[in-house]
C-alpha cells in the first residue's frame, strides 16, 4: 500500500482521535460522519440526539469518559463544542444534549433522525471515575449544565454497586426548562436521590422554589472526608454553588466543575478557550476546584 493510499483512507475513515486506537499520520481537524439515530425533546429549546458513527470501525474504536466533549459540525455552520451526555458504559450509541441557542445549534435542531453531522473528539478531561469509586457523590446541575452530569448519573445508575450514595440537585429557571424529566423516575429507581428546584414555579409544580443553592442545606454536608461534589451550570451558579459547598465542608480537592468556553479546535491550539493560564479544552473542561483560583471570571 502506498503512502498516498494510506493517507486517503486515513483522511476519509480513520482521522481524528479514535478513542484508544490512535492511528498514525492523522489530521486532527477532519470530522468523521455520524448519523442521528433518535431525537428526544427535553424542553422547548433542548433536545437529546442519540448518535453513532456511520463507519463501523469508528464505532468499535470510539471510547470516551463522562465530562468529555465533541466538536460538532453541522453542514455549512462550522463547529461547536458539545458535552457528551450519555454513559461511557453504553457501547453502540452516545448522546449529545443540545440547547437551541446559536446559529449552529439552531441548525442542529432542524435535523431529523437519519441526518448526518460531523464529529471530532472526544476531547478534554473527564470526571474522575476511578476516584469516584466507592464514594458518596453530590451532583449539582443548573439548566443545560445537567448534560455532562447526566453522563455521570447514567454511569452511576448502571453500576450502583460501584458508588456510595448518589444525590442529584437540579435547578432551572422554570419547570419547562428542566431537562431529562422523563428519565428521572428511572434514576430514582436506581437509587439516586433526586431533588429539583426552579426560580419561578407554575401551577403543577410540586417541588421547591428558589435557587439551587437553597437545596444545599446541612443535609448535604459531606458524610465522609472523601465525599465528592460535581457541579455544572452557568458560571455564576458554579461560583455560588462552590462557595456553598466549601461552607458545607467539601475540600477544594473534592469539588469538580466543568466549564464552558468558545472553542475552535478542541485540542489546545486555537487559543479561544482560555481561562487565565489554562486552556479549557485540554486542561479542562473538568477542573478540580483547587485548580481554579478565584471564580469571578468563570
Partner 1 sequence: MRRKQWILHKDHLLPFLRKLRKSRSLVAPVRNSYGDTMYTEMNDLDNESIELAEQPQNSLKSFFFPQREKLCHYSVDEAVGDSAQAYRFYPSLPESRAVVYFGVRSCDMFAVMYCDTIFLGGRERDVYYDARRRNALFITLACNHPFENCFCNAARTGPYLEMGYDLQFTDLGDRYFVEVDKARGREVVQQWPQFFVPAGDDDRQAHYQAALESRGLFRRQVHVDLAVQLLDQGEEPQALLAELSARCQDCGGCAFICPTCTCFNIVDQPLSDDRGERVRTWDACTFDGFTRMAGNHNSVQIISQRVTKRFYHKLRDDVLRHGRSSCVGCGRCVGMCFGGVDIVRFIDGLCAADDKRSEKREDGHD
**Which chain residues interact with partner 1 by CB under 8 A?**
11-12, 15, 17, 26-31, 33, 35, 54, 73, 75-80, 101-105, 114-118, 234-235, 260-262, 264-265, 267-272, 274-277, 282, 297-298
194 is in an annotated binding site: no
265 is in an annotated binding site: yes
**Helix H or strand E segment including 116:** strand 116-123
Q: Nearest approach, Cβ of 164 to partner 1 (angstroms)?
A: 33
Among candidates 181, 211, 182, 185, which has minimal Cα distance to 198? 211
Q: Nearest approach, Cβ of 288 to partner 1 (angstroms)?
A: 17
Between residues 50 and 265, which has the closer beta carbon with respect to partner 1?
Answer: 265
Among candidates 197, 192, 191, which has minimal Cα distance to 217? 197
Q: Nearest approach, Cβ of 219 to partner 1 (angstroms)?
A: 32
Length of the chain: 298
Q: Nearest approach, Cβ of 77 to partner 1 (angstroms)?
A: 6
232 is in an annotated binding site: no
Between residues 120 and 195, which has the closer beta carbon with respect to partner 1?
Answer: 120
Between residues 166 and 279, which has the closer beta carbon with respect to partner 1?
Answer: 279
Among candidates 257, 170, 153, 256, which has minimal Cα distance to 213? 170
Q: Nearest approach, Cβ of 221 to partner 1 (angstroms)?
A: 31
Between residues 171 and 266, which has the closer beta carbon with respect to partner 1?
Answer: 266
Contact predicate 230/139, CB 8 Å: yes
270 is in an annotated binding site: yes
Q: Nearest approach, Cβ of 202 to partner 1 (angstroms)?
A: 23
N-term to C-term CA, the chain: 50
**Radius of gyration of the CA atoms of the chain, in A:** 19
The position carrying cell 435547578 is 171
Q: What is the C-alpha to C-alpha distance for residues 276 and 222, in angstroms, rounded to an integer?
A: 30
Contact predicate 116/90, CB 8 Å: no
Cα separations (Å) of 286 from 15, 139, 149, 210? 25, 14, 11, 27
Q: Which residues are annotated as a binding site for [2Fe-2S] cluster?
A: 265, 270, 273, 281
Q: Which residues are annotated as a binding site?
A: 265, 270, 273, 281
Amino acid at each position: 500500500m502506498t503512502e498516498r493510499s494510506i493517507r486517503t483512507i486515513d483522511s476519509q475513515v480513520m482521522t481524528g482521535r479514535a478513542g484508544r486506537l490512535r492511528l498514525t499520520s492523522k489530521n486532527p481537524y477532519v470530522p468523521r460522519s455520524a448519523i442521528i439515530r433518535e431525537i428526544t425533546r427535553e424542553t422547548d429549546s433542548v433536545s437529546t440526539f442519540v448518535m453513532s458513527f456511520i463507519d463501523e470501525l469508528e464505532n468499535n474504536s470510539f471510547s470516551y469518559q463522562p465530562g468529555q466533549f465533541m466538536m460538532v459540525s453541522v453542514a455549512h455552520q462550522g463547529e461547536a463544542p458539545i458535552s457528551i451526555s450519555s454513559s461511557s458504559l453504553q457501547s453502540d450509541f452516545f448522546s449529545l444534549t443540545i440547547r437551541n441557542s446559536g446559529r449552529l445549534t439552531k441548525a442542529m435542531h432542524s435535523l431529523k433522525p437519519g441526518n448526518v453531522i460531523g464529529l471530532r473528539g472526544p476531547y478534554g478531561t473527564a470526571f474522575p471515575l476511578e476516584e469516584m469509586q466507592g464514594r458518596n457523590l453530590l451532583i449539582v446541575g443548573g439548566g443545560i449544565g445537567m448534560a455532562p452530569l447526566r453522563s455521570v448519573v447514567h454511569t452511576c445508575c448502571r453500576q450502583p454497586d460501584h458508588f456510595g450514595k448518589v444525590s442529584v440537585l437540579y435547578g432551572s429557571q422554570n419547570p419547562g426548562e428542566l431537562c431529562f424529566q422523563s428519565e428521572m423516575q428511572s434514576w430514582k429507581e436506581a437509587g439516586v436521590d433526586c431533588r429539583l428546584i426552579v426560580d419561578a414555579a407554575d401551577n403543577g409544580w410540586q417541588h421547591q422554589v428558589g435557587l439551587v443553592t437553597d437545596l444545599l442545606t446541612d443535609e448535604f454536608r459531606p458524610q465522609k472526608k472523601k465525599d465528592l461534589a460535581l457541579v455544572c451550570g452557568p458560571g455564576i451558579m458554579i461560583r455560588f454553588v462552590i462557595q456553598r459547598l466549601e461552607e458545607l465542608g467539601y475540600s477544594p480537592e473534592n469539588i469538580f466543575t466543568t466549564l464552558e468556553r468558545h472553542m475552535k479546535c478542541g485540542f489546545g491550539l486555537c487559543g479561544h478557550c482560555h481561562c487565565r493560564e489554562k486552556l479549557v479544552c485540554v486542561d479542562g473542561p473538568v477542573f478540580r476546584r483547587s485548580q481554579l483560583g478565584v471564580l469571578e471570571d468563570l
